[in-house]
Every structure is written in C-alpha cells, then in structure tokens.
C-alpha cells in the first residue's frame, strides 16, 4: 500500500473515531482529583476529551469513543459510565409575558396564582425576613429587568463557566418573575418579592441542556451556600423522561446540604413524574389552573407531591422579547388586557372615553381631542378608523 493511501486510511480512521465519540458521565470510586485515570491526569487528554469534573459527586464528564467507554468500564477506579441525557425547559401553557417596564405598564398586576396560594398573607412575615436564597436552574435570568434587578444576587453560566447567566431564551426570566418579581408599581408581583434571587444557567438558548449541566449547576449552588450561608431553595422547571445516576447522586448531596429542591413534574399529561422531580427527596410540583383543576398537560401520579398555579401564568420576560400588551383600566375598577397595535408607541394615556360610532370621519366630536376614542368594530378597516381619528 502506498504511503499516501496509508495516510488517507489513518485520516479516515481518525475521523471515524471522532465521529463516534459522544458525551458520557463517568462515576469514580474516589474524587476525580484523587483518581489515577490517564484521562484525568494528562493535560492533553483532559483537553482532547473536554473533561469536566464535579465536586458534589465523584464523577466527571468527558467526550469518549465506544472503545474508551469499554476500557473505562473495565477499570477498578470506575463505578459506572452512562451517556448524558437531555433536560429541557417545561413551558407554562399558555404563558403570558409582561416586560413590566415603566414605559409599557400601568401599575402593578397580581397574577391569579399569587393570591390563590395566599402569598400576600405571608408577606408581613417573609418580607425582610433574612437571607432566604432561591437558585433558579434554568435558561438564566434577565438580571437587568426592572422587576427583578433589586432581588438579583448573582449567578453562574455552566456553558462558558462565567458569572454572567443572562437569559437568551426567556423561560428562566418567566420563572424568576413568578418567584421574586418586586412588589412595586410596575409589572407583576411574585410569591416572595424580597427573596434573594440567584440564576444558574443550565439550559441553552433553545431551552435544552443535559444532566451534565444540571450536575454542574448543583456544584455551584452547594459551593455558594457554603460560602455565604443562609437558607436555600433550588427551583427547576425542567426535566426529561430518563433518569441519570450521576444527577441522582448530585441531588442527594444537595439535599444533604440542607437545600430544599423543587422541580416540575412534567408537561406530558401522564401518570409519570419526569426527572429530576422523580428523585427521592425532590419535591415534585404539578400544575393546576385558576379553578384548582389539574392542568391537562400536567404530569401526575404517586410521586407527585404538590400542585401550584401553572396555567396562563402572567410573569416577567426578557426585555425586548415579549409581545407588547395594551392594558386598559376603567374608573370603576376592571382592567382589560389586549394585544397592542404593532408599531404603536409605548406610553401611558389617561382620559375620558368618547363614543365615536363606527369610526367615520364625521363621527369624531371635538371633545375627543386629548381623550380616548371608543370605536365599534366593523365596516371600515382599522387603518381607516385611525386616519379618521387623526385628520
């Protein structure tokens, strides 16, 4: 065989090896720091296999070929090897987003679920009650959001290992608003409007991650609790239908550290609790609607521990991403919400309603100037009505 052919064959074999590699979690007998495996000790091996070690559990993550997996499974230093499994965001259905900025909102609204669970009755006790910390493991949080910024304490991004868990999806910010939106005069209010809020970004811009990411997130939360103390709650509105031994061990360690863990049961509408909610010690949370009926999409079954409002949830959104809402409050009290007209200028307007019929040019009386034109549907296009209102 000619040298060139040998070189091409070697290149092909190398490419095939790379293509067959996948991401695995390797559980070890001792901590990764103390384990004498070449993939952990050799700097070149660590880089080529993209090794990530954990502190909450004796394990590490690595990109491995089938042959490397088989070799590790034969090692006395290894307890087991598993392929990573997917974790994804559990979306509220249907969800409503409210950017809660002073330029787009009129006053503060209380989502039905906040009153439904009697949260305001506890605010006299919980507000300013000390270092209660809630770590939201999700897609991150918009830490600049005006309804969250004052409660945001910091966080971690497992993807780039930075302290910037900015939400590039929206789900985490929505969850954070339900938990901790400020009690102010804008947007919404959360269950605990003075809690200390932490963001751990374990899901990417598509709302997808793996059990590896979750284990990394638990590491960070444990270390932060040990660093600053206080009482901690971990919230995970995410999961998947496959268990993960390493992830299960990580949560066992979290719970042993005195951290309360809550996780969504799942959104498949089945008598099956997804993971991590299904692990021992994790509080599995299902969803109910405003009439206290179990949501059609909520998972249920013997492992379900508690239910909470989860249908049509009004909460915060990453600024600039939520569809605008038009909010109208009449003097007698009722408030109505509708989609804003695309291209309309954000702002507030107070005035009297003036009946302007169907919107013909001759139906706008002089007193409508500076007030609000009330126009019936029908006959004319919306553009025609607007043009007639602004001659």
pLDDT of amino acid 7: 43
The tens digit of pLDDT for each residue in 33-71 reads 999 999 999 999 999 999 999 999 999 999 999 999 999
Q: Quickly count: other Cβ atoms within 10 Å of residue 283's Cβ.
A: 16
Both tokens of residue 367? Answer: 């007193």
Q: Which of 32-41, 107-116, 146-155, 374-383 is least confident?
A: 374-383
- Evaluate if residue 3 carries a pLDDT over 50: no
pLDDT of amino acid 205: 94
Contact 234, 222 (CB under 8 A): no
Contact 147, 316 (CB under 8 A): yes
pLDDT > 90 in the chain, percent? 69
Choose between 205 and 324: higher pLDDT.
Answer: 205
Choose between 303 and 383: higher pLDDT.
Answer: 303
> Which band of pLDDT confidence, cut at 50, 70 and 90, is reported for residue 388?
confident
The tens digit of pLDDT for each residue in 99-132 reads 444 334 457 999 999 999 999 999 988 887 777 9
In angstroms, how far is CA 89 from the centroid of its own chain? Answer: 6
Average pLDDT over residues 341-349: 56
Domain boundaries, the chain: 3-83, 88-316, 326-389
Distance CA 369, CA 161 (A): 56
Please list the residues that pair with 316 across neighbouring strands: 98
Closest CA to 294 of 260, 266, 315: 266
Choose between 11 and 28: higher pLDDT.
Answer: 28
Average pLDDT over residues 19-41: 94
The tens digit of pLDDT for each residue in 346-369 reads 566 778 888 989 889 899 998 888
Q: If phi over 0 gives left and psi between -120 and 50 gives alpha, with beta otherwise, what is residue 201?
A: beta
Choose between 326 and 108: higher pLDDT.
Answer: 108
Topology at the third CATH level for domain 3-83: Alpha-Beta Plaits (3.30.70)
- Evaluate if residue 95 carries a pLDDT over 50: no
> Which band of pLDDT confidence, cut at 50, 70 and 90, is reported for residue 376?
confident
User: Please, what is the average pLDDT of the chain?
Assistant: 87
> Which band of pLDDT confidence, cut at 50, 70 and 90, is reported for residue 339?
low
Distance CA 269, CA 281 (A): 22
Q: Does domain 88-316 have CATH number 3.40.50.200?
A: yes
Closest CA to 239 of 228, 251, 257: 251
pLDDT of amino acid 383: 66
- Evaluate if residue 15 carries a pLDDT over 60: no
- Evaluate if residue 2 carries a pLDDT over 90: no
Both tokens of residue 121? Answer: 């009755």
Q: Which of 241-245, 314-318, 386-390 has the highest mean pLDDT?
A: 241-245
pLDDT of amino acid 347: 61
pLDDT of amino acid 130: 76
Q: 146-160: string of b/e by CB count within 10 Å (b at 16+)?
A: bbbeebbbebbbbbe
Q: Which of 140-144, 240-244, 355-359 is least confident?
A: 355-359
């Amino acid at each position: 065989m000619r040298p060139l052919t040998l070189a091409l064959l070697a290149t092909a074999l190398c490419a095939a090896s790379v293509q067959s590699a996948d991401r695995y979690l390797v559980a070890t007998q001792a901590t990764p720091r103390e384990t004498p495996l070449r993939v952990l000790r050799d700097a070149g091996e660590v880089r080529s296999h993209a090794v990530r070690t954990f502190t909450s559990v004796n394990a590490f993550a690595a990109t491995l070929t089938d042959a490397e997996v088989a070799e590790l499974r034969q090692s006395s230093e290894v307890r087991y090897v598993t392929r990573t499994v997917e974790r994804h965001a559990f979306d509220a259905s249907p969800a409503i987003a409210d950017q809660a900025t002073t330029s787009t909102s009129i006053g503060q609204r209380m989502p039905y679920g906040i009153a439904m669970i009697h949260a305001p009755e506890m605010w006299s006790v919980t507000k300013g009650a000390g270092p209660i910390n809630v770590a939201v493991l999700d897609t991150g949080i918009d830490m600049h959001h005006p309804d969250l910024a004052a409660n945001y304490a910091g966080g971690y991004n497992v993807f780039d290992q930075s302290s910037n868990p900015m939400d590039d999806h929206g789900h985490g910010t929505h969850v954070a608003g339900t938990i901790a939106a400020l009690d102010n005069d804008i947007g919404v209010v959360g269950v605990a409007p003075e809690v200390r809020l932490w963001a751990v970004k374990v899901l990417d811009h598509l709302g997808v991650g793996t059990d590896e990411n979750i284990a990394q997130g638990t590491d960070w939360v444990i270390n932060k609790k040990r660093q600053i103390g206080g009482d901690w709650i971990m919230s995970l509105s995410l999961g998947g239908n496959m268990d993960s031994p390493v992830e299960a061990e990580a949560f066992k360690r979290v719970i042993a550290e005195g951290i309360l863990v809550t996780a969504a049961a799942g959104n498949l509408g089945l008598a099956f609790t997804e993971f991590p909610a299904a692990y021992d010690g994790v509080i599995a949370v299902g969803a109910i609607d405003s009439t206290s009926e179990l949501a059609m999409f909520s998972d249920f079954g013997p492992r379900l521990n508690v239910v909470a409002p989860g249908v049509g949830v009004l909460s915060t959104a990453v600024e600039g991403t939520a569809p605008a809402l038009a909010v109208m409050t009449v003097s007698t009290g009722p408030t109505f919400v509708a989609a804003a007209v695309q291209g309309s200028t954000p702002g507030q307007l107070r005035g009297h309603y003036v009946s302007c019929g169907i919107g013909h040019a001759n139906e706008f009386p002089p007193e409508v100037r500076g007030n609000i034109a009330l126009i019936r549907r029908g006959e004319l296009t919306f553009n025609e009505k607007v043009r007639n209102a602004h001659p």
